[in-house]
Amino acid sequence: MTRATLLQVRNLKVHRGGAQVLEIPALDLRAGEVLALMGPNGAGKSTLMLTLAGLLPPSEGDLQFGQTILHTRADREVFRRRMTMVFQDPLLFDTTVAQNIASGLKLRGMPAAERKPRVADWAGRLGIEGLLNRSARQLSGGEAQRTALARAFVLQPEILFLDEPFSALDAHAREGLINDLGHILAQTGTTAVISTHDQAEAARLAHRLAVMQEGRIVQIGGLREVMNHPEDPFVAAFVGMETLLKGRVVAGREGLISLRIGKDPASDREVVALGEAQPGQMVLVGVRPEHVSLSLQTDNTSSARNAFVGAVTKVIPRGPFFKVELDCGFFLSAYVTAQSLSELGLEPGRPVVASFKATSVHLIRKEGLDSQL
Amino acid sequence: MELIWEGLRKALELLLRLDPEVLGITLLSLKVSGIATLLSVALGLGLAVLVALNDFPGKRLVIALMNTGMGLPPVVVGLFVTVLLWRNGPFGFLGILYTPAAIILAQSVIATPIIAGLGLAALQHLPPGLRLQILSLGATRSQMVWLLLKEARLPLLAAVMAGFGGVISEVGASIMVGGNLKGSTRVLTTATVMETSRGNFEIAFALSFILLVLAFTVNALLTHLQQRSGRR
């Protein structure tokens, strides 16, 4: 998908209190895409977002919107009317829902008669048309965030910035809102940047994913690419690749590699993966828990190249799934449904067979890997 | 007890009779303290906005000074303003000592820090992200300031009430820079002090009741404004 670049930054640096908190050599936001920023607290997601939104002047570097480089405060002020931002806290004004939704239009001097149909339209699209005359103080968390989103979308922003918009909501409100936001983003084709802690949220809304750590973007790429092919252990852990094992290549031919897992040289646990590698090379072997299936005995009809007998060590509820941790001579984690859990009788100590395809094995090969492990 | 009832009766009588002298004193009190409050709102809120929205070295010191200023003793203000406006003082050429203008000036010095200090607290109490949210909705800087003031309107109106209450009731500065001149700078508080010292307790009580009613009326109006806007 080739799309025009809408916003680009080059050599961006932000200092705060003498310390550098953000360094982004280059970042392009393409028209119509949804870019998710993920990373732990303090990774610089919010700082990057505020800078991209023109709300925080960079210490160094340029922000270019379309063909215009935003040099001055006046440039940024013009840009600010073409984008908008929704924060974790809905930050509604102490007035009615309708007045809140209309506030950005009012700031632009739009007459009341023109504002009204637009406000009604967006209230409807976010399912709050019944609350228009309600005071913003009387809203639930979900209703308040819907009002904040309507207040943003009614401006028809060229870029919408969403700074952890669902983090403060309960699971039920969050679920509905992510759904609705996904529909609206797809319908309107709005270019958006969303920051989140939650990989599931990113997976449902974003086209591209950038993982941040300590003020830098560690990896950026297509959603599936980053999720399934993290380039380093930090990204792997952050995007939910829960099994990460140190392995040594023992053989490689015809696009298949055999890897010996674990530090013990006598270990007979071999994992088969796709790719090319030299025997003796050290790599990290990653497997996403949703790619591991569990059964009670080895299934010869399965196409999975890797099958290991192990024992359940832990069962952890994870939303609609259960995470099962196994000891197969090495650590392995798998997601199962509640039904599988009871059918297989999974509980600590239970012996099971864990299998996954060679295509599900992701190898991280990086300079200096040994020192990171 | 009898004195108080007598004072209340006298106050009603003076008011109903529209006693020209009492009426003049009352209107002057209202005018002087009203103008001083308006000036203090402009200066104090301006200062509060500047301090709230900007980071600069010594900000904490400025805030500490503003908060200290909220407790300025009126007599100290009266002394300084008198010296400044004295015939040979730096502003003596203005020739406003012992005129209502001097009282307005002194009362503004008293009310400005009160409104600035409470106003700053009101603005700082707003959610920290609100300023950025308003800017991201496309507000210019002045639109942003207006919206912030509007969001803080309840505590800001309380600040205005505190400022007005502080100056309508003070006597030290008014008597020092105004001189309690009959028909020119005599206000309710200075007149009350004078009548009390002369032993005219009935009149003193009457003036006090009028002062209370005046303060109550103005604050009731402001409260009405505050609570009406709060319900929206």
Whether A116 and A130 share a structural domain: yes
Interval A319-346: pLDDT, tens? 778 999 999 888 999 999 989 888 888 9
Whether A98 and A151 share a structural domain: yes
Contacts of A89 in chain B (CB under 8 A): 127, 129
Q: Exposed (0-12), middle (13-18) or buried (19+): which is B61, by Cβ within 10 Å?
A: exposed
User: Of A207, A236, A265, which residue constitutes the final position of a domain?
Assistant: A236
ipTM: 0.85
Q: Tokens 């939650």 — which residue?
A: A198
Q: Which domain holds residue A368?
A: 242-372
Report yes or no: B143 at the A interface, CB cutoff 8 Å. yes
Whether A63 and A91 share a structural domain: yes
Whether A75 and A90 share a structural domain: yes
Nearest CB partner across the interface for B138, out of A91, A107, A161 = A107
Whether A114 and A192 share a structural domain: yes
- Domain count within chain A: 2
Whether A85 and A205 share a structural domain: yes
Q: Tokens 């009604």 — which residue?
A: A120
User: Of A198, A221, A236, which residue constitutes the final position of a domain?
Assistant: A236
User: At A144, is the pLDDT very low, low, confident or very high (cuts 50, 70, 90)?
Assistant: very high
Q: What is the CATH number of the domain that holds A356?
A: 2.40.50.100
SS3 label, residue A183: helix
Whether A68 and A129 share a structural domain: yes
For the segment A338-361, the average pLDDT, to the nearest whole number, is: 90
User: Of A195, A216, A236, which residue constitutes the final position of a domain?
Assistant: A236
pLDDT of residue A298: 73
Nearest CB partner across the interface for A55, out of B135, B147, B230 = B135
Whether A56 and A190 share a structural domain: yes
**Helix axes B153-168 and B20-53, enclosed angle (nearest 10):** 140
Q: Is the pLDDT of residue A114 over 50?
A: yes
Interval B196-214: pLDDT, tens? 999 888 888 889 999 999 9
Whether A75 and A161 share a structural domain: yes
Q: Tokens 């952050």 — which residue?
A: A238
Interval B163-187: pLDDT, tens? 999 999 999 999 999 999 998 999 9
Whether A197 and A51 share a structural domain: yes
Q: What is the CATH number of the domain that holds A11?
A: 3.40.50.300
Whether A10 and A70 share a structural domain: yes
User: Cα A332 from chain centroid?
Assistant: 23
Q: Report the mean per-residue pLDDT for chain A.
A: 90
In total, the C-beta contacts within 8 angstroms joining chain A to chain B are 49
Q: Is the pLDDT of residue A162 over 60?
A: yes
pLDDT of residue A279: 85
Residues 6+ apart with CB under 8 A from B18: none
- Range with lowest mean pLDDT among A298-307, A315-324, A357-366, B133-142: A298-307
Mutate to test the interface with A, among B55, B132, B133, B231 (most CBs of A within 10 A): B133
Whether A227 and A246 share a structural domain: no
**C-alpha pair distances (Å), A101 with each of A94, A136, B33, B138:** 12, 10, 40, 13
pLDDT of residue A372: 46
